[in-house]
Structures are given as structure tokens and as C-alpha cells.
Structure 1
Amino acid sequence: MRRARKRRGLRQSARLTHVSRTIYVDGSYVPEAEARISVFDRGFLFADGVYEVTAVVGGRMVDFDSHLSRLDRSLAALDIVSPLTDRELRVVHEKLIARNGLDEGIVYLQLTRGVADREFSYPYGLTPTIVAFTQAKPLLDNPLAESGVPVVLVPDIRWRRRDIKSIALLPQAMGKEFAKRNGAYEAWMVENDLITEGTSSSAFIVDSEGVLRTQPLGRHILPGVTRRAVLRLAEEHGVAFEERPFGIDEALGAREAFLTAASAFVLPVISIDGRNIGDGTPGQITRRFRELYLKECCQENI
């Protein structure tokens, strides 16, 4: 038994020593195997923290100012004051990208209230915990952009402050798992017969009149950074759009549907709960928005 445990321990140690990523933890850049936070961190105990995910293309960040703005808004809603300025957070991201040789992928950033003994009320005077790491993944040449993706519908069981990018993501993880088990890429959440958003994306349709539709901002959805960019592009290119709720029947009867997210950009939705949207292939407007967004990303990174 001891030998078996020792062999397992050696295998785990071997896996850890082969990890080459550098992680940022509270002011230090450390190997992944050495990255540690306290068991008394309120992020671990209460999900008392927020996060951001920034896309990286060509070794440079996409829409980073918008991510910083949303981060500041989320922190303010929770009365957390970041120990780093926006400029310092930018430097952290840039150093992680450089140290990990990241050309394409994402940087994940998480800030929690900090470390204290377990009490529900906020302990004041804490130094927030900051963790950031990179993940390499293909973003530009995504085969799903050509094929489109299926989505399924799930009840929206989240809390009432969805505009805060909270690390409390269990309902979203449950929805994503349901989607995976049912052969779908994403789950769109439904509340009062209206589609709010995806578990990790914003939801769009091109309705039967040819108008681009998405939920208006409010406490019921997250203010998506890529969502914001798409609406700006719609305005710049003369595409009619409305920030107006849409129901299940409207989505099923739409000409096109798509989702947006920092790590997916714009992806066509070709079916909902097994029912085709349009002819079941990526639509022309969706393709155009992905093309415009990618062009903008690449121009930013020249």
C-alpha cells in the first residue's frame, strides 16, 4: 500500500515538474507547481472575488481596456479595492504573455477579497489576493466558426447580480456540463421564457425581420466585452440592431443566431435544442461580424 502511494506521489510530482507555465501570485512570478494561496482565502471559502479573461492574438491583448473597465466595475460592486493600478495590471499581463511565450490564447485574472478567518461579513483592511495565468489555445482559426455550434436551453438558476463577473460559477458549470452531455457546445439560459445569455457567452439572434437582437444591459446579464464590440460594429456598418429581449420561439424562428465571448469571438449557432436555426448553417451576417471583429483584432496587434 505504501509503495502504491509512493508511486502515485512520484507520478504526480513528475507531472508537476514538467509544467513550464509561469503563474502570477500576489506580486511574484512563480512556476505553476509552486503557485499557492491560503485555504483561508475568501475566494476559496465564499467565492468572494471577481475575474476577467482577456484574449491574446499575436502576443498582444484584445479589448484590454474594456476588460479593465469591467473589472473596476465588478470590484466596486463588492467593495474590493485592487492593490494594483490599471497600468500595473497591464504590466502583469504583458509579463505573463512574454514569460510564457504566449502567441494566441487567453490570460485569466482573479482578484479576491483576501485571507481571513471564516466569517460571512466582510473583514475590512485585507489585502486582496491576485492570481493570473495564461492558457494557450487557437482563437483565429477555430473550425467551429465554419461548422457552427449547437446550443441547448437550461433554466437560469443564477443569483440576481449577474452583471458582476463573480467567480461563483457553479450554475454556469452545471449548464455547461448539461450541454456537453447532450452533444452541444453551449447552454443558453432561460428565465421567464426569455433567453438571458449563455453560460460563458452573450446570446444574439437575427430575428425574422432581419434585426440583430440581444438582451439589454442590467443586473440580469453580464456586460460582455465582445458583445459591446459587436454592437459598436453593427452601428459603424449600418446593421439594424435592438437591445431587446427575445424568447424561445423567437430564437427558434430567427434567421441566424450567434454567441460572443472573449475566447470565442463570434461563433455561429446553428441549432437550439436540436432544432435548426435557418437552414442549419452559419449565416451571412454572423460570418460578417466574425470577419469584422477578427480584422479589428489583427489591426490592434500590428
Structure 2
Amino acid sequence: MPELMVINGEYMTPAEGRVSAEDRGFTFADGVYEVMRIYGGVAFTLREHLERLERSASGIDLQLPHTVSGLEAQMTELVDRAGLPEAMLYLQVTRGAAPRNHLYADSLAPTVMAFVRPGPPRPEAWNRDGAMALPMPDTRGTMCNLKTIALLPSVLAKNRAVRAGGAEALFHLEDGTVTEGSSSNAYAVRDGEVWTAPLSHKILPGITRMQLVALCQEMGIRLHEQALTLREFEEADEIIMSATNLELLPVTRLGARPIGAGKPGPVYRRLCEAYRERVRTACGAMAAETR
């Protein structure tokens, strides 16, 4: 089966999936979600993603209907049933269905939906030449640390960037401070050292970001969790963006402005190889344990 979905414990194809038209995820974007990558039939950093889902749910006063361990077992079963060695796993939990009203009852039954499908292919040109990110004002709200399904500002920014020939948007505040991408964390490399914005209500605590922070420590690459301005990003030797589906993205242009030497740099290449080795080690070991 190329794609498989589960809604509240019932398996089906995405085309067969049905939820109430009055689900608050549909009427209010009232829910949280996670996206995970499957390598070799194993969901990488599944536990970390589910723990973040639990934190996001708590941040919007949503009680998950299952424990993290329970969700972990369900998602592992979904991945196993789907049988796709390289794929994307999407999990969404909404507050549930009720007549449209800003007020919600604590007794609502959440809707839990997840699906597995092949992930989008990564353009080879990104690895060879890098990609463009389009700077634009950060018009999102102050709950960016929570992974909610209310994503319209990010959706609009990403589409604008792609229409301009880019791969991502790079958000900055009115004072020029860079926050992150529309669906990624952002890093500047200066003199061999990595700089990224500290975690705050404007920054998603990315799971891939967490991996890169750890890799920098292990590899002796000095990392500063300190915000930089757009001008400082423009003057960086390298720019890297990270996300579950992107993995690591070398940014060689900000708009029309070349970054550094205009090609993927040495810090990106070191971190990219180390990250992929971490994926191979983790998922290979987990796959072997289940055989």
C-alpha cells in the first residue's frame, strides 16, 4: 500500500479518511502536529517528536488522549503496516468536533490522525549548488515555540519564496533580528563558528536543531545560541537551515545576494555528513532490533 492513514485507531487510505466538518482543527486550526522522517522503515527521533507534541498540546490546553508511550506504539505500528522504507510520518491531534464556538468544553474527544506517505524528493542541486532563501518580515504570532496547525503566515511565506525561485523563507523581526525559516531553524556560520537564535516564543525547538546542537558539541564546533541580524546573516560565510524533511539545507543566496563563496561550505558539509551518519546509526540499530 503506497499510503496509509489511521484516524482514532481505524486504518484506511487517505482517500477514505473522514472527520467531522465541525472538527475544531477545521474550523479553528485548534490542534498540534508533528512530522517525522522514516529511514529504513524506522521513524527517526520518534520519541523526541512525541514529547514535543505533548508539550505543544499542553501549551494550548489540550489533553492528549494517549501517553507518549502509547502514541509511540501506535506510530510504530502504522509505520510497520505502511511498509515504506523511506517516507514521511505525519501526526495531528485536534481538540475534536463540536458546534463552532470560541469556547470549548473539556469533555471533547480529541481527533488523532496520522498517515505515512513517500517523502518529497530532495533536489540534487541543493547539495551541489545550495539554495536561495528569501528574507521577509516575521508576521507570525507569539506562539511559534508550539507546533500548532495554525500555519497560514508560514504557508504564505514559503509559497512566496518558492515563487521567487527559493527553497525557504527567512524570517526577521522589525529590528532586523533573524528568527527562523517558515518551516525550519536557521544558522549562520562565521569564522568556522555557528550562530543560531536562542529558544524563545518566536523559535520552534526543532528536533533537527537539537541534533545539530549536539553534533556541534561532539565535533568541537563552537555554537552560539545568540540572535543575529539580517545584515549579519548576509555577511556570514555560510547559512544553514534545518528541518525534519529538509535535513540540512545549505543556503548560498539570500534573495539576490550571494552568501560566502556562493556554494555549500565546509561546516555545512561536515555537519551534513555527521547528521546522516547519526541517522544511519540510529535507524539501522533500531531496524536490526525489530528483525
With normalisation by structure 2, the TM-score equals 0.93
Which of 22, 37, 40 lines up with 1:58 in the alignment?
40
Please give the secondary structure, in 1, of the residue aligned with 2:106: coil
Q: CA deviation at 1:20?
A: 4.8
Per the TM alignment, residue 143 of structure 1 is displaced from its structure 2 partner at its CA by 4.7
Aligned position for 1:202: 185
Residue of 205, 226, 249 corresponding to 1:244:
226
Deviations 1:150-197 (A, max 9, x none): 110111111111101010010001001110110001001111211110
Match of 1:7 in 2: none
Task: Give the conservation status (yes or no) of the 8 Å contact 1:226–1:261.
Answer: yes
Structure 1 residue 223 corresponds to structure 2 residue 166: no
- Note the C-alpha offset of 1:138: 6.1
- 2:113 aligns with 131
In structure 1, distance between residues paired with 2:124 and 2:283: 18
Which has more radius of gyration?
Answer: 1
Alignment of 1:95 with 2:77, yes or no, is yes
Distance 2:24 2:156 in 1: 22
- Quick check: 1:109 aligned with 2:91? yes
Which residue of 131, 138, 157 corresponds with 2:139?
Answer: 157
Which sits farther off after the overlay, 145-154 or 110-119?
145-154
Which runs of 5 or more structure 2 residues have no equivalent in the other structure?
Answer: 285-291
Residues 57 and 104 in structure 1, CA contact (< 8 A), matched pair in contact too: yes
Q: What amino acid does structure 2 have at the position aligned with 1:265?
A: E
Counterpart CA distance in 1 for 2:160 and 2:273 is 30
| RMSD value, Cα | 1.5
Where 1:270 maps in the other structure, the secondary structure is: strand
**In structure 2, what is the Cα distance between the partners aligned to 1:141 and 1:117?**
44
Q: Give unpaired runs (5+ residues) of structure 1.
A: 1-18
Percent identity between matched residues is: 37
Per the alignment, residue 16 of structure 1 pairs with none
Matched position secondary structure for 1:90: helix
Verify the 8 A CA contact 1:139 1:263 in the aligned structure 2.
no
Cα 1:225–1:20 change in 2 (3 A) is: closer
The answer to whether the 8 Å contact 2:7/2:113 transfers is yes
Q: What residue is the counterpart of 2:8 in the other structure?
A: 26
**SS state of the match for residue 203, structure 2?**
coil
- The alignment status of 1:73 with 2:55, answered yes or no, reads yes
Q: CA deviation at 1:70?
A: 0.8
Structure-1 separation of matches of 2:149 and 2:101: 18
Is this contact kept in 1: 2:22–2:98, CA < 8 A? yes
TM-score (norm 1): 0.90
Partners of 1:150 and 1:187 in 2: CA distance: 9
Letter in 2 for 1:94: T
Q: Distance in 2 between matches of 1:87 and 1:141?
A: 35
| Residue 277 (structure 1) aligned to one of 245, 252, 259 | 259
The AA in structure 2 aligned to 1:75 is: A
Shift of 1:279: 0.9
Partner Cα separation in structure 2 for residue 198 and residue 140 of structure 1: 18
Q: Aligned-pair distance for 1:86? A: 1.6
Q: CA deviation at 1:210?
A: 2.9
Note closer, same or farther for the CA distance 1:222–1:133 as it changes in structure 2 (3 Å cut). Answer: same
Deviation by residue 1:13-68 (Cα, 9 ceiling, x = unmatched): xxxxxx85221101111122220000110110101100000111111011112111
Query: Quick one: distance in 1 between partners of 2:77 and 2:123?
Result: 25
Q: Secondary structure at the match of 1:196?
A: strand
2: distance between equivalents of 1:258 and 1:282? 9
**Counterpart contact for 2:2–2:84, Cα < 8 Å:** no
**Cα distance in structure 2, aligned partners of 1:244 and 1:144:** 27
**Alignment partners' CA distance in 2, 1:40 and 1:145:** 44
User: Is the Cα–Cα contact under 8 Å of residues 2 and 117 in structure 2 kept in the other structure?
Assistant: no
CA distance in 1 between counterparts of 2:129 and 2:279 reads: 22
